[in-house]
Amino acid sequence: MNFTLELRLGDVIDDFCVKCRRLTNHAIVSIIQQKPAKVRCRICYSDHDYRHEQAPPSKKDLKKAELFAQVLAQGGTPPEPGAEGAEGASADGAEAPRKRGRKKAG
């Protein structure tokens, strides 16, 4: 027997809800070409595009990817560990003086 799953309006499927920030049950609100297009979260009742159960990338990850692409576009290579300009080292190789914290009264 061959069973095909035909989705209909109102069917419940899993998807990532941006408002709830987790994978929850969603009801299908609209279908385009036999695939869900919009869904409604059954927890917070917000409508959004069907995301295929994938969480969107965080803003931090997007910023990292953008900076990495800029470095590659400039043809630069990342500095090697222990190279010049490393934090805490001066030009003559001596360590930089450390800041002293406030003394506690008492």
Per-residue pLDDT at 85 exceeds 70: no
Tell me if 17 is assigned to some domain: yes
Tell me if 91 is assigned to some domain: no
Of 37, 18, 19, 16, which Cα lies nearest the Cα of 28? 37
Q: Where are the beta strands (DSSP E) in 1-106?
A: 12-17, 22-32, 35-41, 47-49
**pLDDT for position 72:** 87
Tell me if 48 is assigned to some domain: yes
Tell me if 28 is assigned to some domain: yes
Question: Tens of pLDDT along 14-64?
Answer: 999 988 888 999 999 999 998 999 999 999 999 999 988 888 778 888 898
**pLDDT for position 102:** 72
Question: How many domains in the chain?
Answer: 1
Average pLDDT, the chain: 80
- Contacts of residue 42, Cβ cutoff 8 Å, sequence gap at least 6: 12, 24, 25, 26, 27
**Strand pairing class (35-41; 12-17):** unpaired
What domain range is 47 assigned to?
7-74
**pLDDT for position 38:** 94
Which CATH number characterizes residue 14's domain? 2.30.30
25: β partners: 14
Tell me if 94 is assigned to some domain: no
